[in-house]
Structure 1
């Protein structure tokens, strides 16, 4: 199943694929970062919002929240989950907002969906243009130099359609600005089994390169990838949370 087929043909299973994600902890961490680094405002936009679970948490925490995604079936589900939110079908590398917001998030390493450096630059510029002064841009990222091509994370999830196993892992060839997100899905129904393999082209950057792209627009804080504690990045771990204040 090539390209982004998993997000269209299997969009109904997306929440199952993300069943092991602690959306509450991730959202609460960003609330704290907004209080620590941001301007105190409550207007929020989630990039690559998917089916809207983070938006739901931000609304419940008192934010005026909305999201954008390139996939309409995802947005249809997000609108059901968050009927009070505004969702738009837009590319995060070329989006517009009617009013500047105070907080922009991009969870689940989705910043890498920019796919190449030029599009990543465009994404950063559009985020800056959409943020109010002192607004905060929060996202998580992986350093291309720390990727273990043999490492996969996996979990099982039950559904009326069958038992699913979801696996994902990064692959970086060692040079260039492109890495892959490799996905494997297995669905078992009775004695039958179906398997899908998917590869998503993602932009590959080091944290040093990413910081340089951000600094013309933001005051950049790199933090450990820990949603329970706010700690400065230790300089060696391959995953980090970026908290970027619009200057």
Structure 2
């Protein structure tokens, strides 16, 4: 998943499908500061190619990113030269410092396969926050709102290329499997095709709430934002 073929043009596809990285980063920052007005440092977990992080850097004094896919991280490093970017698993990382806020966007947390893994990840986030620190998580689709068999398709034309993207998502046990077909064509190389597959756990809204509480957060949920999946905010319990 998220291999070198996709990493090259990942952001262009989503931007041309309507994803507003600047707008989302501004909104999440506003929500973080509604909980922690003096937040000055931020860690982006699952930062991908750094598209959100590029804007968070304008809004916070210190930012870092962590990403599992080395192919995606290589794009982030080119986009954000000199930025502290780390390769690692959201379930078990240790950056040996704390941040005022941690974000995990675009449904990345849905890659946790079990409730235990979700709790592991959120507990790891909590270790990197002070009491009063804030976590902002965009979930994958909830089990109760998931549309089985969903199909989407787009054709975009960034630069000199034409890119067709067609996806199909189906229920598999307690999760969903998304298969995405890409066809990329340009006048010099012709057309090529590749496929990517992503699996996500279909947690319920209450399972997210429970995992946040187990990790030591006081959770809240904002419905309908960020493309419809909503946003969880959690404030780490304890005294500053």
Query: TM-score scaled by structure 2?
Result: 0.87
Deviation at 1:52, TM superposition (A): 0.5
Instruction: Give the 3-state SS of the residue equivalent to 2:54 in structure 1.
Output: helix
Spell out the pairing of 1:1-247 with structure 2 (5 A cutoff).
4=1, 6-19=2-15, 20-38=18-36, 40-141=38-139, 142-159=141-158, 162-168=161-167, 170-173=169-172, 175-176=173-174, 178-189=175-186, 193-216=191-214, 217-227=216-226, 239-247=229-237
Residues 147 and 171, structure 1, Cα contact 8 Å, conserved in 2: no
Instruction: Give the 3-state SS of the residue equivalent to 1:145 in structure 2.
Output: coil
Change (3 A) 1:227 1:110: closer
Deviates more, 1:14-23 or 1:44-53: 14-23
Paired residues in the alignment total: 232
Residues 115 and 203, structure 1, Cα contact 8 Å, conserved in 2: yes
Residues 105 and 138, structure 1, Cα contact 8 Å, conserved in 2: yes
- State the alpha-carbon separation in 1 of the partners of residues 73 and 171 from structure 2: 30
Deviation at 1:86, TM superposition (A): 0.3
Q: Unaligned stretches of 5+ in structure 2?
A: none
Deviates more, 1:204-213 or 1:189-198: 189-198
- State the alpha-carbon separation in 2 of the partners of residues 245 and 24 from structure 1: 24
- State the alpha-carbon separation in 2 of the partners of residues 29 and 54 from structure 1: 11
Residues 166 and 186, structure 1, Cα contact 8 Å, conserved in 2: yes
- State the alpha-carbon separation in 2 of the partners of residues 159 and 40 from structure 1: 39
Larger strand percent: 1
